[in-house]
Structure 1
Amino acid sequence: MPMMTWNRRRMLKTALAGGGLLLSGLPAGAQQATALMRAPRRALVIGNSRYPRAPLANPGNDARGMAEVLRGIGFEVTAGLDLSREAMHEAVRAYIEGVRRAGAVGLFYFAGHGMQLAWRNYLLPVDAEIDSVEELRQRAFDISSLIDGIRGAGNPMNMIILDACRDNPLGGAARVDQKGLSQMDAPPGTFLAYATAPGNTAIDGDGGQHGLYTEHLLREIRVPEAKVEDVFKRVRLGVRRQSNGQQIPWESTSLESDFWFLPPRELRKRADDEVEREFREELALWERIRAATVPEPFEDYLRRYPGGRFSELAQLQLDRALAMMGEKKIEIVSAPQNPYAKGAVSASIGYKVGDFYQYRQADLLTRLEIDSGTRRITAITANEVIYNKGVIVTDLLGNLLRVPSGATWSPNQTAPLEFAVGRRWNTRFRVVPPKGGDSTVDLDMRIADRERVTVPAGTFNAFRVEARGWQTGMVDGRGHFNVSWDWKTWYAPGEVRLPVAFEWFVRHSFGKIMRATRNEMVSFHQQP
């Protein structure tokens, strides 16, 4: 890349004219991914069906099917059917010791009855004679003992898959206030999957060989070169559509590296022209379907690109299309008093004309206020929100499409549809300044934490969304530029629809900071 010469300042100014708001997640390194591919694989698979009071039809078949598939893709599998509490504890103890000694990628799968009590999750052994809620703690298997064990094992990665959210197995013997399993945040280096959203119950099956969730999982896990997150996104879509929205799987992740059940033959850095070609193909597909009002185009896109650059937008449009068709989608039961999870919240998209949001901007280095302004919604279309009569335009998730400088951004997803700590995604988009030039922004993004944030507009329980990447391009056809974008944005969905604060660092390729600003919400008014 040529060094910046006399027009460096001008090129950077043009590049920065395309900027807006947001967010510092680290992309997974190829060395980490290669290490996971080479690591041993160990799995513990348990299926409990023969409960005296509430037998289940499918967990035995589910466990046998899962064990067979995992062995076929390189896992050393220990399988247990209809285990007692003592046998479950011994199997888990041996499993944790095994992954610790081998430094293995670990996978724990359970099919059977599961319950929650006081925000803790319990898996039921077949010998659990439980006549009161109090006996649940003594006679069931507390999933936190597995979590604590793998937390201390020091192995590179863990997966926990719980097809264990059937309806209350205790019948009239005891009643619990909460259905299904309680939400938990995945511990470090762990991917946690539930057959259905927290606080809801799963379907044991409709007469087939397997339960609904495991049926889809067994199929998707065998798809070559699919990252673990993409496997479960496809499972979620398939289960949702087959159940008409009455069962929607849920995941929590804290993974920092990519993992494939059936990995690519080699990990390689793709050439820039290959990345660009794939981006253009995906963008062209999205441009063709984004105004559709029926679900099929968005389903097809999400199956092809489950972790795609427009998957959040596609999921939003799918939700809207299915709602118009009468789907009654279940919701995650996320309680703020739950000490084991920071919650999951959907983006707020109930915009109204007349709503406004006032911000102030300060230099992060000098702490001096340098600007202020108000965003007022002046129009709303089917897919866009227009502020200040077109000075700023976003999509319904808040992703920028036009910024005050007049620059336009191609469709992007810097703002997610679902907020949960640990989520990761990538976005790539074009920035076109009003006076010419063209550049590409590529960002790796993650939801890093949920924390209390105080700004002039108030104190909010906000998700911190971070992104890190590069903007590269050419100005007026005469010179290249290459600058890094480093963003942090705080969202409080459910409280306020726009970010309550955002920081933006821009550095040129030699590391010098060209911009360091923080915007904070001063006041806002939004209609319910």
Structure 2
Amino acid sequence: MNRRHALLRLSALSAASLLPWSAAGVFASAAAASALNALPRTALVFGNSRYKDAPLKNPANDAGAISEGLGKLGFAVVSLLDGGKTAMENAIRRHVEQLARNKGVGLFYFAGHGLQVNWRNFLVPVDAHLGSADDIPRQTVDLAALLGGIGKAGNPMNIVILDACRDNPFGGELKSGKGLSQMDAPLGTLLAYATAPGNVASDGSGANGLYTENLLREIGTPEARIEDVFKRVRLAVRRASQGQQIPWESTSLEEDFYFLPPASIKKLSEEELARQFAEEAAVWERAQQSGQVAAVEDYLRRYPSGHFSELAAVRLDRMLAKQGEKKVSLINTAANPYTKGTGLIDLGYRIGDRYVYRSIDLLTTVENRKLVNTVSEIAGDRIIYNGGALVTDLLGNLLKRPDGTTFGPSQMFIGEYHLGKKWSTRYSIHFAKGGQDNIELDLKVVGRETITVPAGTFDCFRCQATGWVLNLGLSLEWNFWVAPDKVNRPVALEAWWRKRGRISRSERQELESYTRAG
């Protein structure tokens, strides 16, 4: 990147970037959330149970319960039970027309049979008679077409919930993959599956299916952000099924939505934010020290999108695996044209693994140093390099750098990446020469792209981070690229530090070579 490009990027900064990140971000988020939650709410609910060839017990019950629950939350609900293809398509058309008129929040819920063929997902009406793959497009509802139709309504937000991840029951010559295929949520949409793509969900033995039972409970939680609702559902279903059913979501939402919104959404002061963070950090510290699954679960229920939630999720995975949980895996392949995929970090470090980075000043394009880091010890969830000069956690988050500066727990780097994923972190930094500060970052996966560095060419997820070094008054803008299936450290990272809008430092680190031991 040349100096002119850097200065152009600097000139594009908004006035809001001169405010402390947390204050500006919370103010904007609060204003947007207040407006969104005041909009009309419209829901279309399908529950298909009476299939001639493969009846299901719970979808009609689930749809009835969801309709009742959404009605109590202010949704105008249209419900269709045991719908044929024509009835489903007509109801969808009217739903889209209503959203186009009222420009409100839309919700679509389907419980019943769903299929995937060649990565396309289809919702099955009760009058379908499927003997071969050729029957599917003619006799079912194409999910991609449904999402495209909803998108044309022009309303600001849609929620699409699919409790349709059941195995193909139709037999004959019909060949389809298990469950539903992964899809990336369209703009302004949260797309939720009852279980991870490529897996199947149980119809349940009670009045409602396992997924819908937990969803009903969580949407009634006061003042819960929509992402937190679904994260709590995921945790509850996972634990109840012993890892055999793990709900999954894709989101492109930019604003907070609440099924039961708070009476008012206000900007928090720095003091209030600091107090809340201290309370959360204390809960996380106790969970780590306890070594108990229940304590980590308690943290995740209380702070589903917390400053340590990504760390907690990885810790929970490892703890449950040791207890014998056989967690289902998300079926993920580059052949699927409807998604950018999901990247899962490899935690399998080895003593002797060697990472070499070169550091470049972004303004001068001059290489100013080389960083050679060799794993010398693995101590629990800490990776120690160069005899202790550098220490990170398993995800690559910095705990100590060679000059002696240390860092509190952070989650800049996480365990799972997919397009649209958002998270945040706040952590302390203790300078080797004395003094300390706190760093806050908002992060998001913004794309998937191929980049070339000296170590080679990698298919990467590109992530953006913006934030603030609170006491020093430095604004931060970072971009980093990760290829979790190829290398467990970042492939490249660009960092910009600004003071009162002026660049005080800039750097690009890129992987020059990477050697696995053994």
Give the structure-1-normalised TM-score.
0.92
Count the aligned residue pairs: 494
Q: How does 1:78-97 map to 2 (within 5 A)?
A: 78-97=78-97
Question: How far apart, in 2, do the equivalents of 1:527 and 1:38 lie?
Answer: 57
Q: How does 1:269-280 map to 2 (within 5 A)?
A: 269-280=267-278
SS at match of 2:134: helix
Q: Shift of the alpha carbon at 1:212? A: 0.6
Q: Shift of the alpha carbon at 1:437? A: 1.3
Question: How far apart, in 2, do the equivalents of 1:371 and 1:26 lie?
Answer: 35
Question: How far apart, in 2, do the equivalents of 1:98 and 1:159 lie?
Answer: 15
Question: How far apart, in 1, do the equivalents of 2:39 and 2:401 lie?
Answer: 46
Q: Shift of the alpha carbon at 1:292? A: 4.3
CA spacing shift, 1:32–1:72, aligned 2, 3 Å: same
> What amino acid is the match of 1:331?
S
The structure 1 residue matched to 2:482, chosen from 449, 466, 491, is 491
- Which stretch has the larger CA shift, 215-224 or 148-157? 148-157
Aligned to 1:128: 128
Aligned to 2:111: 111
Q: Shift of the alpha carbon at 1:345? A: 2.1
The structure 2 residue matched to 1:353, chosen from 342, 351, 354, is 351
Aligned to 1:518: 508
Q: Shift of the alpha carbon at 1:126? A: 0.2
RMSD across aligned positions (CA): 1.4
2:319 is the alignment partner of 1:321: yes
Q: Shift of the alpha carbon at 1:293? A: 3.9
Name structure 2 gaps, 5 residues minimum.
1-23
Q: Shift of the alpha carbon at 1:425? A: 1.1
8 Å CA contact 1:26–1:468 kept in 2: the answer is no
Aligned to 2:19: none
Q: Shift of the alpha carbon at 1:418? A: 1.2
> What amino acid is the match of 1:483?
L
> What amino acid is the match of 1:89?
E
Question: How far apart, in 1, do the equivalents of 2:173 and 2:309 lie?
Answer: 42
Question: How far apart, in 1, do the equivalents of 2:33 and 2:403 lie?
Answer: 40
Aligned to 1:181: 180
Question: How far apart, in 1, do the equivalents of 2:249 and 2:173 lie?
Answer: 29
Question: How far apart, in 1, do the equivalents of 2:269 and 2:363 lie?
Answer: 37
> What amino acid is the match of 2:493?
F
SS at match of 1:29: helix
> What amino acid is the match of 2:190?
F
Q: Shift of the alpha carbon at 1:288? A: 2.0
8 Å CA contact 1:26–1:444 kept in 2: the answer is no
Aligned to 1:463: 461
Q: Shift of the alpha carbon at 1:51? A: 0.2
8 Å CA contact 2:399–2:406 kept in 1: the answer is yes
- Which stretch has the larger CA shift, 142-151 or 156-165? 142-151
Q: How does 1:100-249 map to 2 (within 5 A)?
A: 100-170=100-170, 172-206=171-205, 208-249=206-247
Aligned to 2:416: 418
CA spacing shift, 1:174–1:292, aligned 2, 3 Å: farther
Question: How far apart, in 1, do the equivalents of 2:48 and 2:124 lie?
Answer: 8
Q: Shift of the alpha carbon at 1:177? A: 4.2
> What amino acid is the match of 1:184?
M
Question: How far apart, in 2, do the equivalents of 1:502 and 1:225 lie?
Answer: 36
- Measured against aligned partners, the alpha-carbon deviations of 1:6-57 in whole angstroms (never above 9, x if no partner) come to xxxxxxxxxxxxxxxxxxx977632221221111111100000000011000
> What amino acid is the match of 1:429?
Y
SS at match of 2:284: helix
Q: Shift of the alpha carbon at 1:173? A: 2.1
> What amino acid is the match of 1:520?
E
> What amino acid is the match of 1:308?
G
SS at match of 1:290: helix
- Measured against aligned partners, the alpha-carbon deviations of 1:404-434 in whole angstroms (never above 9, x if no partner) come to 3321111111111211111111111111101
Aligned to 1:35: 35
* Identical pairs, percent: 51
Question: How far apart, in 2, do the equivalents of 1:487 and 1:521 lie?
Answer: 16
Question: How far apart, in 2, do the equivalents of 1:291 and 1:173 lie?
Answer: 55
Question: How far apart, in 1, do the equivalents of 2:100 and 2:364 lie?
Answer: 49
Question: How far apart, in 2, do the equivalents of 1:73 and 1:219 lie?
Answer: 12
Aligned to 1:6: none
Question: How far apart, in 2, do the equivalents of 1:100 and 1:366 lie?
Answer: 51
8 Å CA contact 2:451–2:460 kept in 1: the answer is yes
Question: How far apart, in 1, do the equivalents of 2:452 and 2:150 lie?
Answer: 36
- Which stretch has the larger CA shift, 194-203 or 309-318? 309-318
8 Å CA contact 1:216–1:238 kept in 2: the answer is yes
SS at match of 1:100: helix
2:386 is the alignment partner of 1:388: yes
Greater RCO (Cα-Cα under 8 Å, separation 6 or more): 1
Question: How far apart, in 2, do the equivalents of 1:291 and 1:204 lie?
Answer: 38
Question: How far apart, in 2, do the equivalents of 1:183 and 1:527 lie?
Answer: 34
- Measured against aligned partners, the alpha-carbon deviations of 1:148-180 in whole angstroms (never above 9, x if no partner) come to 11222211111100000111121x223324100
Q: Shift of the alpha carbon at 1:294? A: 3.4
CA spacing shift, 1:117–1:527, aligned 2, 3 Å: farther
Question: How far apart, in 2, do the equivalents of 1:262 and 1:244 lie?
Answer: 30
> What amino acid is the match of 2:492?
A
SS at match of 2:350: coil
> What amino acid is the match of 2:164?
A
Question: How far apart, in 1, do the equivalents of 2:191 and 2:112 lie?
Answer: 17
Q: Shift of the alpha carbon at 1:527? A: 4.0
Give the structure-2-normalised TM-score.
0.93
8 Å CA contact 2:44–2:79 kept in 1: the answer is yes
Question: How far apart, in 2, do the equivalents of 1:65 and 1:177 lie?
Answer: 30
- Measured against aligned partners, the alpha-carbon deviations of 1:33-86 in whole angstroms (never above 9, x if no partner) come to 122111111110000000001100000010011011111011111110000001
Question: How far apart, in 1, do the equivalents of 2:435 and 2:454 lie?
Answer: 37
Aligned to 2:20: none
8 Å CA contact 1:411–1:429 kept in 2: the answer is yes
Q: How does 1:332-347 map to 2 (within 5 A)?
A: 332-347=330-345
CA spacing shift, 1:26–1:96, aligned 2, 3 Å: farther
- Measured against aligned partners, the alpha-carbon deviations of 1:459-516 in whole angstroms (never above 9, x if no partner) come to 111111111011112xxxxxxx3010111110100100100000000000x2000111
> What amino acid is the match of 2:165?
C
Q: How does 1:467-482 map to 2 (within 5 A)?
A: 467-473=465-471, 481-482=472-473
Aligned to 1:436: 434
CA spacing shift, 1:126–1:162, aligned 2, 3 Å: same
Question: How far apart, in 2, do the equivalents of 1:405 and 1:484 lie?
Answer: 23
Question: How far apart, in 1, do the equivalents of 2:403 and 2:229 lie?
Answer: 40
Question: How far apart, in 2, do the equivalents of 1:120 and 1:128 lie?
Answer: 17
SS at match of 1:394: strand
Name structure 1 gaps, 5 residues minimum.
1-24, 474-480
Aligned to 2:16: none
- Which stretch has the larger CA shift, 131-140 or 402-411? 402-411
